[in-house]
Amino acid sequence: MPLPLPAPFDHHHRGAAQAQAHQQQQVVTDMGQAQGNWVGGRYPCGPAAAATPYVEHQKAVTIRNDVNLKKESLRIEPDEDNPGKFLVAFTFDATVSGSMTIIFFAKEGEDCNLTPMKENHIAPMTVHFPQGLGQKFRQPSGTGVELLTFEETELVKVGNMDIYPLAVKAEAIPGAPNGSDGSPESGAMNSQITLAVFEKEKGEFRTRVAKQILWVNGMRYELQEIYGIGNSVEGDLDGNDPGKECVICLSEPRDTTVLPCRHMCMCSGCAKVLRFQTNRCPICRQPVERLLEITVNNGSEE
User: Could you report the per-residue pLDDT of 216-225, keeping only the tens digit for each?
Assistant: 988 998 888 8
Of 115-129, 203-217, 220-234, which range is least confident? 220-234
Query: What are the backbone dihedrals phi and psi of residue 13, each rounded to the nearest 5 degrees, phi first?
Result: -70, -30
Instruction: Encode burial over 230-265: b for 16+ CB neighbours within 10 A, e otherwise.
Output: ebbeeeeeeeeeeebbbebeeebebbbbbbebbbbb
pLDDT band at 180 (very low <50, low <70, confident <90, very high): very low
pLDDT at 48 (0 to 100): 55
CA–CA distance, 116 with 167 (Å, rounded to integer): 9
Task: Provide the greatest CA pair distance for the chain.
Answer: 145
User: pLDDT for 253-285, tens place per residue?
Assistant: 998 988 888 888 899 899 888 888 888 899 899
With cut-offs at 50, 70 and 90, classify the pLDDT of residue 240: low
Mean pLDDT to the nearest integer, 139-163: 87
Tens digits of residue pLDDT in 80-95: 999 999 999 999 999 9
Q: For the chain, first and last CA: distance in Å?
A: 129
Please tell me the distance from the alpha carbon of residue 3 to that of residue 159, in angstroms, as a whole number.
110
When pLDDT is cut at 50, 70 and 90, the band that residue 181 belongs to is very low
What was the pLDDT predicted at 101?
A: 96
Mean pLDDT of the chain: 78
Tell me what pLDDT residue 157 has.
Answer: 83
User: Among 28-32, 211-215, 262-266, whose mean pLDDT is lowest?
Assistant: 28-32
Q: Which of 43-52, 109-118, 124-133, 236-245 has the highest mean pLDDT?
A: 124-133
Average of pLDDT values for 114-120?
Answer: 91
Which residue would you say has higher pLDDT here, 110 or 194? 194
pLDDT at 47 over 80: no
pLDDT for the residue 132: 95
Model confidence at 76: pLDDT above 50 = yes
Which helix (H) or strand (E) covers residue 134, if one does?
Answer: strand 132-138
C-beta neighbour count of 104 within 10 angstroms: 24
Please indicate whether residue 4 or residue 81 has the higher confidence score (pLDDT).
81
213 pLDDT band, cuts 50/70/90, is: very high
Residue 58 pLDDT more than 50?
Answer: yes
- Please give the residue that has the higher pLDDT: either 231 or 152: 152
* 263-266/256-259 β-pairing: antiparallel
Given a cut of 70, whether residue 3 has pLDDT beyond it is no
- Tally: H helices and E strands in the chain: 4, 15
Cα angle 197, 200, 205; round to 5: 75
